[in-house]
Amino acid sequence: MNGDEEVMTTFDSPPRKLGPSLKVEVTDGVAVITFDMPNEPVNKLNRAMKDEFTALFDRIERDASVKAAVLMSGKPDVWIAGADIEEFLEFKTAANAERLSRDGQTMLESLEKMRVPIVAAIQGACLGAGLETALACRYRIAADDSKTVLGLPEVQLGLIPGAGGTQRLPRLVGVSSALDMILTGKNVRGKKALQIGLVNELVHPSILRRIAIQRARELSEGKRMPPKIDGGLKSLLLDGNPAGRMVVLRQAREQTLAKTKGKYPAPMAAIEAVAAGYSGGKGKGYREEARLFGEMAMTEASKQLIFLFFATTALKKDTGTQSPISGDIKKIKKLGVLGAGFMGSGIASIAVQQGSLVRLKDADHARVGKGFAAVRSELSDRLKKRQITPLQMGDYMSLLGGTIDYSGFGNVDLVIEAVFEDPSVKHQVIRELEEVVKADTIIASNTSTIPIAKIAEASSKPWRVLGMHFFSPVHKMPLLEVITTPRTLPEVTASAVAYGKKLGKTVIVVNDGPGFYVNRILFPYLNEAGLLLDHGVAIEDLDKALVHFGFPVGPVTLMDEVGLDVGAKAGKIMAEAFPGRLDPAKSFQAVVAAGRHGRKSKKGFYLYDDAGKKGAADPDVYKLYLASGTPISSKPTDEKPPGTPPPVAESEIVQRTTLAMLNEAARALGEGIIRSARDGDVGAVFGIGFPPYRGGPFRYMDSLGIAAVVEQLDELNQRFPGRFEAADILRDLARINGRFYPDDDSAPVPLPTLELD
């Protein structure tokens, strides 16, 4: 028996492995391939897997007894999660990345052109290179399951699909639907995938294997052809002809530039790859896709976004004996929430969706009722988007109970208080709680600025008190700060972290202190913005400069959104904690004193319509804090009244506000408020929207060069004594030419100032 004949025996039943990750079982001429990477929670594609798949394809091609095949996953809830991102860290040049893309294209082209039809039987996450693999199959069947999602999320890493996704997807579902998926990176669920033609069938998970085998056999016998999707008149006009596609592509370029402001090059590159495939055929399209993938892999944006991917992944695993977060984990089955307002109801809404029993308390039935309505509204929104079923919504609501006293709190495992931001109020509820809860019930505060040690003063068991600081709106913001005091027990911290992760949050552990970490670095930024307003910088110019820098909204808009009254109270606490560094801006004080609280009161610095939509800045606001009553634009103008302060350049607006934040982040690290620069970067990006493409405050300071940062701080501190005194850790690093990430071999960006790109 020669080598080839020996290979053929691998397809005989019972199933046998062809390599570490692939198992094949043949049933009446249909090879069922099960992909199950050993010792890995998910299936992913890397160089070794490409070799394994290529060998498998070759063997199937040469075995005449195999008439068709089905590709399935051996992992629960995951088909193929995508490419192995760790391989991307090995790229040294664009040519390296381009080569990897070409290798992936070659493998999937072999799959697409196989003699036998391959049916993708998809259950669970089918993402990135996983979806590109499915696209190369002859037929796709998805399990009608909440865990089944399909998507091309590469732009979220600053990349584009590199294994044929920019070419196959538009031809399958049309340019409009394809660009919607590629440019946003958003997932598509089973029903939507069927609607747009991304999958050919949607079946119950219990019959997925049987139907996939049946369809594979029908395809091999010529009894079934993949149906063509009729997208209607709109599809015919836009996707079905060159002129329509040109319109779609032009609109996509315009909208993408408006959204990314040129900071994220990958979406534009993806559009060009799609366009190349239509203008020059598939061959040119594949070449452009690989070339552009290589270029994007070398961009600074991709480097920082991949760092954030690994940082958040590491935080998800950040428990156990090898982690600073160690201790026995108490399972949280029943949660008590004090305060049924915006934050309390938000916490309750995400908790019931993870199967927790929730007891929601407030002072009267009307407030509890509003809390219930808020939870129901959030669930209804998910129902409308088909993210949950009516049965699930009913199940979730059945987990929620309300009370105006402490009935039902006797057996809760964790209580999160989200009451009024006042130490005396929080002390009162702590004392009341301890009369009814179990001895081992964890008590957490959702305070945003009050030190946890101060709150714990009211507790007879301060070791079980800590902070769980959620961000608003709770169901959208991904970050959770868990704040500990020197007296908090390790098992209390570990339990809070584990529960935060169960709620789907990215969790950082922060030591106690005013503002903790995220708000501590936010307030110097906001306060400096207020002082610029005091100087006469126009509201729109200030916001525009920081949006240009990369923040999702400007600081004035942010204050209006949060609530100027809330910000003023928190700002007072921060100013008292750090005297001399955070001199309150008269602009914020004057606007609050005038009863303008932001969007919730329909007017703040900006005006809002009845639906709460922001309009233009209100010119009357300037009269509240500028003596002249005339706004002074940061743009040069011809004439100014006598005594008018000189205009402030956009670069200085960015420099002063961002350096205040960067310096405070360095202080927080130097004082041990955060455990690492990694935690600080993740906290800033996911907590306050620090520009992801810059990596976070510490990655950004590394890119600028620490010495350059210190030099700019010193220059500003001469002009504004006390506000910009460089943190000790920055001076120490500058002296040794050090970095926050010493293992990162990239060179600092030689910028003389923190200027805009």
481 assigned to active site: yes
Q: What are the tokens at 733?
A: 């690093």
Whether omega before 473 lies within 30 degrees of 0, making that bond cis, reads yes
Strand, coil or helix: 30:
strand
Length of the chain equals 757
Longest CA pairwise span in the chain (Å)? 100
CB 496 within 8 Å of CB 482:
yes
CA distances from 315 to 508, 676, 681 (A): 7, 11, 12
CB 450 within 8 Å of CB 426:
yes
CA distance 482 to 484: 7
- Residue 658, number of CB atoms within 10 A of its CB: 23
How does DSSP assign 205-272, residue by residue? GGGHHHHHHHHHHHHHTTS--PPPP--HHHHHHHTSSHHHHHHHHHHHHHHHHHHHTTS--HHHHHHH
How does DSSP assign 666-677, residue by residue? HHHHHTTSBS-H
Strand, coil or helix: 729:
helix
CA distance 132 to 180: 16
DSSP, res 694: G
Angle at 554 between CA 553 and CA 555, to 5 degrees: 125
Choice among 481, 540, 652, 664 that is catalytic: 481
Spell out the SS3 assignment of 622-640: HHHHCCCCCCECCCCCCCC
The DSSP bridge partners found for residue 414 are 335, 442
CA distance 570 to 477: 20
The DSSP bridge partners found for residue 632 are 537
Q: HSE-up of 517 (CA within 13 Å, CB side)?
A: 39
Cβ neighbours for 247, distance < 8 A, ≥ 6 positions apart = 238
Question: Pairing state of beta strands 78-80 and 479-484?
Answer: unpaired
The DSSP bridge partners found for residue 466 are 444
3-state helix, strand, coil in the chain (%, to 5): 50, 15, 35
CA distance 630 to 756: 27
CA distance 631 to 364: 46
* Residues recognised as catalytic: 481
